[in-house]
Amino acid sequence: MADYQFTVTQTGIICVDANSEEEAREKLENNIGHFYVITDNGEQPADDSWEVGQIHDIIKEEENV
């Protein structure tokens, strides 16, 4: 009998306030333990087990002029 090993990944969303994608990615990669991940099962603290991927969405705040 063989032992089969699989790689698994976690999927979720982390929201980061920043002025650019580069700034947001840098904040996230340098301080991931200070964020929460939004998953299908609610929120959970982020840690090094989460791999930072591509941008999911950009939400811009409306400015009152």
Written as one letter, the residue type at 59 is I
| Residue pointed to by tokens 């994608």 | 21
pLDDT of residue 9: 75
Break the chain into its structural domains and give their ranges: 12-48
pTM for this entry: 0.69
pLDDT of residue 40: 86
Q: Give the separation between CA 27 and CA 65, rounded to whole angstroms.
A: 29
The answer, yes or no, to whether residue 65 has pLDDT greater than 60, is no
> Residue 48 half-sphere exposure, CB side, CA atoms within 13 Å?
1
Residue 43 phi, psi dihedral angles, 5° rounding: -105, 150
- Which residue pairs, CB below 8 angstroms and at least 24 apart, start in 6-9? 9/51
The answer, yes or no, to whether residue 18 has pLDDT greater than 90, is yes
pLDDT of residue 23: 94
